[in-house]
Amino acid sequence: MAEHSHYEDPIRFETHPSRYRHWVLDFPAIHEGRVARLAMDVQEDGGLRPGYPLKLNSYDLSVDIELADAIQRVRFEHPAVRALIVTSAKDRIFSAGANIYMLGSSTHSFKVNFCKYTNETRLYLEELSALSGIPVLCAVNGTASGGGYELALACDEILLQDDGSTAVSLPEAPLLAVLPGTGGLTRVTDKRKVRRDLADVFSTLAEGVRGKRAVEWRLVDESASRSKFEAALKARVEKMAARSLRTAAGEGMALPPVTVTRNGDASEYKYVLLQIDRERRVASLTMRGPEGDPNATLNAEHWSVAAWRELDDALLDLRFNHPNIGLVVLHTVGDPEAVRRFDRWLTERALTDWLAREVVLLQKRVLKRLDLTARSLFALIEPASCFAGSMLEIALAADRVFMIDAANTHVALSVANFGAFPMSNGLTRLESRYLYDPTVVTRLREETALLDAGAALKAGLVTFTPDEMDWDDEVRVAIEERTSLSPDAMTGLEANLRFAGPETMETKIFGRLSAWQNWIFQRPNAVGPTGALTMYGQPERPVFDYRRT
């Protein structure tokens, strides 16, 4: 397998509205700055690689990279915004969804990671409404198919143009022999609460559903004729802005580019270092803790922002550009007490300051990205480490935690460990860790001391505590054993073990849906020589193996 999937150049996730090719972010004067508008205007020749024109507002990863960036900028840079419109800049087409020829010509791993990133971006839209107080209205002013309708489903409300031709559809099963890849089935039933029988009809009806029937089936919230569409849009989004709970005011926080120096297999940021060992299929990911006093101006250079944006970029680099890496070894360097000071300062400030709250939510999203990394994760706690508070969450996200039993080696809890960073299952990582006895979490709230290896093991915060004599051998053997195992089995094992506890819409998307899609994407009925995805656009019909498994 090529190191960079099917792309000749590494995929980068840094962008800016001035460089967008596929979206227009503006603030219509009619709403006096209270409403942002994101209009999809995908450039046919603007894909990540040649070979598939992005017709009909179909998208590839480059389109979603811009969407994720735009959502982040609305949060941080535009405090006056109280509602967001997502729509199309093209006439009579909203979006045809993920580009089929891109999917058909992509490696399996890229398809799965593409769906995962797109899922994360859809969830960012929902979090924008739920936790940042910016509700989202999707103005479907043309046909929305597959991933296009899934984008609409991630919005709070859907307004559909009723013009006799505009429809919403999830045609993946009847046309491509795959599933809607970004939460469509889950959101139709769990979020919009469409009846199961109607959802079954809808999900096997390639041409989709239009107008009043779409409203009756709860697939959209309102339909309006072409002549009345803009008036209906204005009325609905103004109501959404009026009920917004966002309290942001003043200046926003500009988000400059994340800077990194790449030298061979090392990527060095200010606070993060990613090192790739291709031969061993192991990556080392080191995050440096804060220094000094947290009471500085909260801007993009503040450790609470900069370090976490860097970590996010490094995780995406790992996911897309290094598919052969099987294990990520997590390190931290710094003063655990400094981490706790920064956590306390940020958490207290977030109670009244919208910007501080957005920073906490940023950290939460990055930690979720770590949870969803399809790599084994081992955390190594050594004398120079600062696995405390928010950075202890990095270790708690790992599959195993090794802590050397040596002097000046500690872990520590902070206020950040008790609710600031829920996982996809709605629980904190501590709550997920101690499902067998929730009172442990209550007792740990009172634990303010730095914990050495013995105390950390007794508390259940670490897995193993080798002494200095055995440390190197035990860690080496654990790494060698892990990387010798089947990557398919490990991905499945980790995904099942990381999200213990209650099932949520989010865990269904990343567990149930992703697992099925992962499997279906490899089945001959979809991607074989006569599979539906392979044959799409050809005059021949697909040939299926009709045995159920």
Q: Which fold has domain 261-491?
A: 2-enoyl-CoA Hydratase; Chain A, domain 1 (3.90.226)
Question: Residue 44: is its pLDDT beyond 70?
Answer: yes
pLDDT in tens, 141-161: 999 999 999 999 999 999 999
Give every CB contact of residue 370 below 8 A, 6+ residues apart in sequence. Answer: 311, 315, 377, 394, 397
Is residue 425 predicted with pLDDT exceeding 50?
yes
pLDDT digits (tens, 9 = 90+) for 102-135: 998 999 999 999 999 999 999 999 999 999 999 9
CATH architecture of structural domain 17-242: Alpha-Beta Complex (3.90)
Predicted confidence at residue 499, as pLDDT, reads 86
pLDDT of residue 255: 97
Q: What is the mean pLDDT of residues 534-544?
A: 93
* pLDDT value for 411: 98
Summarize the confidence of residues 175-193 as an average pLDDT.
Answer: 94
Give the residue extent of every domain in the chain.
Answer: 17-242, 261-491
Q: Answer with the residue of higher pLDDT: 519 or 432.
A: 432
Q: What whole-number percentage of the chain has pLDDT above 90? A: 91
Compute the distance between CA of residue 82 and CA of residue 80 in angstroms, rounded to an integer.
6
Task: Give the pLDDT band of residue 8 (cuts 50, 70, 90).
Answer: low
Mean pLDDT of 434-458: 96
Torsional sign, CA 538, 541, 181, 218: positive
Q: What pLDDT score was predicted for residue 517?
A: 84
Q: Are 162 and 210 in contact (CB under 8 A)?
A: yes
Give me the mean pLDDT over the 345-365 stretch.
Answer: 97
pLDDT class for 240, splitting at 50, 70, 90? very high
**Average pLDDT of 56-85?**
98
- For residue 2, the model assigns a pLDDT of 37
The confidence band for 263, taking pLDDT boundaries of 50, 70 and 90, is very high
Sheet order of strands, 222-225 included: 23-26, 35-40, 83-88, 136-140, 157-162, 222-225
Domains 17-242 and 261-491 share a fold: yes
Q: Is 284 buried (19+), middle (13-18) or exposed (0-12) by CB count in 10 A? A: middle
pTM of the model: 0.96
Average pLDDT (276-287) is 98
pLDDT of residue 131: 97
CA dist 366 and 350 (Å) reads: 18
Mean pLDDT across 257-269: 96
Tell me the pLDDT band of 515, cut-offs 50, 70 and 90.
Answer: confident
Read off the pLDDT of residues 358-393 as tens digits, 9 standing for 90 and up.
999 999 999 999 999 999 999 999 999 999 999 999
pLDDT at 514 over 90: no
Please state, in angstroms and rounded to a whole number, the distance separating the CA atoms of residues 160 and 154.
Answer: 15
If one compares 512 and 457, the residue with the highest pLDDT of the two is 457
Q: Is it the case that residue 72 has pLDDT exceeding 60?
A: yes
In the chain the first and final C-alpha atoms are separated, in Å, by 28
Average pLDDT over residues 430-454: 96
**Region 81-86: what's the mean pLDDT?**
98
Average pLDDT over residues 14-36: 96
Q: How confident is the model at residue 296 (pLDDT cuts 50, 70, 90)?
A: confident
Say what the pLDDT of residue 215 is: 98
* Confidence (pLDDT) at 7: 54
Report pLDDT for 516.
Answer: 87
What's the confidence (pLDDT) of residue 99?
95
Report how far residue 154's alpha carbon sits from residue 403's, in angstroms, rounded to the nearest whole number. Answer: 41
Q: Are strands 167-169 and 209-210 parallel, antiparallel or unpaired?
A: antiparallel
Residue 213 CA to residue 259 CA, distance in Å, equals 50
> Considering the chain, what is the average pLDDT of its residues?
95
**Could you tell me the two tokens for 153?**
């489903």
- Residue 516, SS3? helix
pLDDT above 90: residue 93: yes
